[in-house]
Amino acid sequence: MSIISKDISKAIALLSAEELVAIPTETVYGLAGNIYSEKAIKAIFETKQRPFFNPLIVHIPSVDYLNNIVASIPEKAKLLADAFWPGPITLVLKKKSIIPDLITAGKDTVAVRVPNHPKTLGLLNQLDFPVAAPSANPFNRISPTKPEHVEEYFKNQIKMVLDGGPSKKGIESTIIGFENDEPIIYRLGSTSIEAIEAVVGKIEIKNKKEVSPQAPGMLERHYAPKTETVLTDNLQKIIKEYRGKRIGLLLYNDILNDDAIDFKIVLTQDQNLEEAASKLYDALHELDKQDLDIIIAERLPDYGLGKSINDRLLRATK
């Protein structure tokens, strides 16, 4: 029997009973639990097999709710929240003591965002608590952008996936922390650097940290298929190296036909980076099902969302 359901009241009842529910967001599906329930939060880490040193993102219903959980909000954080919430930006801010250390990996900061999905905003507005909701996939595996992806991963481990259709953005939120009140990108994501800099000016990027990361998504290997994956600027060279093997291609441009290729997916027919981002994880899920020896991914242009997509593909190939 399927665990996918559109019933928000059922999701509310399960979350209120300290159970986990996978929820839709505009970025990817999240594995949600009550942030004040130690049972629920431990279940998130255990279900995902996620290390406890990797902090979680807290999802709240509105900008106004922020004062309930954070101790201070730098001026540029206010500008970003006003510009992008609800939406795919996560802010890492000094937490109030009400936020459990389990959520923040013992740090004095909490990662928080307002998701831009009508179903999940409706859910959050009816709950008495915020939820922590990292991506609803086993640690290091491909993030889910459809309810079916979550069901394939966790059908025997959780009771419900709240069906909100395919995720529109398709890659995780951009995470921004603050050092001396100045914003720093800890994880590239669905909001481009260019859009952020238009609001707060030039911004530094520190989006890799293996030990005690300040935010989720900073680990070197992440978002990975089971199939070996390589990222390249030179498709023909890599195809030649693997000729005779079962080859799958993930392309930005549909410019390559070669009888050595067993399966290919083109992310966009008209070089639309937003479309490419929205299809990225679904394409990787599809390629991973094809019993391939190798997935060869084409590097995208290194600007706008292309930079974020390349970041995900690079981590999938480590």
Q: What is the pLDDT of residues 146-185, one digit of tens each?
A: 999 999 999 999 999 999 999 999 999 999 999 999 999 9
Same-domain check for residues 233 and 201: no
This prediction's pTM: 0.93
Which tokens in the block code for residue 316? 């999938």
Band of pLDDT at residue 74, cut at 50, 70 and 90: very high
- Residue 87: pLDDT above 60? yes
Look at residues 153, 173, 205 and tell me which one is the last residue of a structural domain: 205
Residue 218 domain-assigned? no
Q: What's the pLDDT score for residue 210?
A: 53
Same-domain check for residues 64 and 109: yes
- Residue 90: pLDDT above 60? yes
> 3-state SS string over the chain?
CCCEECCHHHHHHHHHCCCCEEECCCCCCEEEEECCCHHHHHHHHHHHCCCCCCCCEEECCCHHHHHHHECCCCHHHHHHHHHHCCCCEEEEEEECCCCCHHHHCCCCEEEEECCCCHHHHHHHHHCCCCEECCECCCCCECCCCCHHHHHHHHCCCCCCEECCCCCCCCCCCEEEEEECCEEEEEECCCCCHHHHHHHHCCCEECCCCCCCCCCCCCCCCCCECCCCEEEECCHHHHHHHCCCCCEEEEECCCCCCCCCEEEEEECCCCCCHHHHHHHHHHHHHHHHCCCCCEEEEECCCCCCHHHHHHHHHHHHCC
Same-domain check for residues 283 and 173: no
* Integer Cα distance of 209 and 30 in angstroms: 22
Residue 220 domain-assigned? no
Band of pLDDT at residue 222, cut at 50, 70 and 90: low
Same-domain check for residues 173 and 262: no
Q: Which amino acid is at 253?
A: N
Same-domain check for residues 192 and 254: no
Q: Of 130-134, 139-143, 166-170, which gets the smallest average pLDDT?
A: 139-143
Q: What's the pLDDT score for residue 217?
A: 60
Look at residues 205, 237, 261 and tell me which one is the last residue of a structural domain: 205
All residues at 6 or more sequence positions from 25 whose CB lies less than 8 Å from its CB, including other chains: 59, 115, 116, 117, 120, 133, 164, 167
Same-domain check for residues 40 and 157: yes
Same-domain check for residues 183 and 244: no
Look at residues 146, 172, 205 and tell me which one is the last residue of a structural domain: 205
Same-domain check for residues 246 and 132: no
What average pLDDT score do residues 45-67 get? Answer: 95
Q: How many domains does the chain have?
A: 2
Q: What's the pLDDT score for residue 316?
A: 87
Q: What's the pLDDT score for residue 212?
A: 56
Residue 215 domain-assigned? no
Same-domain check for residues 199 and 268: no
Same-domain check for residues 43 and 155: yes
Q: What's the pLDDT score for residue 208?
A: 62
What average pLDDT score do residues 269-275 get? Answer: 94
Same-domain check for residues 252 and 198: no
Residue 268 domain-assigned? yes
Residue 211 domain-assigned? no
Q: What's the pLDDT score for residue 45?
A: 96
Residue 213 domain-assigned? no
Residue 47 domain-assigned? yes
- Residue 211: pLDDT above 60? no
* Integer Cα distance of 201 and 7 in angstroms: 42
Same-domain check for residues 114 and 165: yes
CATH number, domain containing residue 115 = 3.90.870.10
Residue 217 domain-assigned? no
* Integer Cα distance of 224 and 32 in angstroms: 21
Q: Which residue has the higher pLDDT, 251 or 210?
A: 251
Q: What's the pLDDT tens digit per position in 223-259?
A: 789 999 999 999 989 999 999 999 999 999 877 677 7
What average pLDDT score do residues 78-83 get? Answer: 97
Cis ω before 86 (30° cut-off from 0): yes
Domain range holding 198? 4-205
CATH number, domain containing residue 284 = 3.40.50.11030
| 92 three-state secondary structure | strand
